[in-house]
Amino acid sequence: MSHLSINNLSKTYPNGVKALDNVSIELENGMFGLLGPNGAGKSSLMRTIATLQDADTGSVTLDDINIFTQPEELRKVLGYLPQEFGVYPRISAEQLLNHLAILKGFTNGKERKEMVKYLLDKVNLYDKRNKSVKGFSGGMKQRVGIAQALIGNPKLIIVDEPTAGLDPSERNRFYNLLADVGKEVIVILSTHIVDDVRELCTKMAIMDQGQIVYQGAPQESLDELKGMVYQKIVSRDSLEEYAVNYSIISNKMVGGQPVIHILSETDPGNGFEQVRPNLEDVFFSKINTANTLV
């Protein structure tokens, strides 16, 4: 059982943006979802854990590896799929994976070959293994990215927005793969898609403006809101009015009509009906604490 411990991580960019603000998370084997809106600092956190960026203060350790002082050690057990995954021109999928496998220390040629083949098969690219990756569609490239992150049973897998560009069936396939792998190792999945987390993760955190605004199991977060979420279909013109009078956590369009969710410990009446909270409500309730219209 591995243990990743992030303690009081802070990072301010030269332009004054606080990317990480005192972030602390404890992780063990299993899938960990990191939710947050764009610009919340998810990628900064991922890159920091992946040894690609420094923090101003704080520490990160994986078991007994301190990633700031022993980045090399962490890299040996890391699988990383960054948000933007590009490929070299004029190189085939197999060559690329083989190259990366060598970089990850797999020196036995035969074993390496087997592994690469297996991974290509797993991401459904075995038939395309000799084709130039540059000519792949976005989804296929992403699958190459997934395959490389899985090279050699890493102890820590970090995937940053992995399902962007995948069609639903590929997304399923990938999640199955991740879930499979995630039983044994720590997988950090960063996403802004709430469903991803619900489907996959046993634990999660919500990030906003560099801070962890929530941390726990998805179910626990739902439990917290149990009986407190109400919804109502309202007219466009009255939205402002509702915003003043209720703590709105979200508003979205359903069939051309705004549907608002509000948070209330008591039944607000006024046509609101109680609904079962979903993860989206959790998400919005955590990041939309000012209760503004979003």
Strand pairing category for 203-208 and 30-35: parallel
| Residue labelled with tokens 């060598």 | 102
- Assess 131 for contact with other proteins (CB under 8 A): yes
Considering the complex, state which of residue 55 and residue 249 has its C-beta at the smaller distance from other proteins. Answer: 55
Surface-to-core class of residue 7, CB atoms within 10 Å of its CB (0-12 exposed, 13-18 middle, 19+ buried): middle
Q: Which residues contact 18 (CB under 8 A, 6 or more apart)?
A: 10, 11, 12, 41, 209, 210
Q: Which residue from 8, 57, 176, 245 is in contact with other proteins, where contact means CB under 8 A?
A: 176
Q: Site for other proteins (CB under 8 A): which residue of 61, 100, 274, 291?
A: 100
Give the max Cα distance, the chain: 70
Q: Find tokens 């402002």 and name the residue.
A: 240
Enter the tokens of residue 294: 């979003």
Binding-residue pattern over the window 30 to 59 for other proteins, x denoting contact by CB under 8 A: -----------------x--xxxxx-----
Candidate ranges 21-29, 30-38, 55-63, 91-99; the one touching other proteins (CB under 8 A): 91-99
Contact region with other proteins (CB under 8 A), list: 101-109, 186-194, 247-255, 267-275: 101-109
Decide if residue 174 touches other proteins (CB under 8 A): no
**Residue 174: both structure tokens together:** 């990938």
Report yes or no: 199 and 175 within 8 Å, Cβ to Cβ.
Answer: yes
Applying CB under 8 A, which residues contact other proteins?
A: 47, 50-54, 68-69, 71-73, 75-76, 78, 80-82, 84-91, 95, 98-108, 111-112, 114-115, 118-119, 122, 124, 127-128, 131-132, 135-137, 140, 145, 148, 150, 152-153, 169, 173, 176-177, 180-181
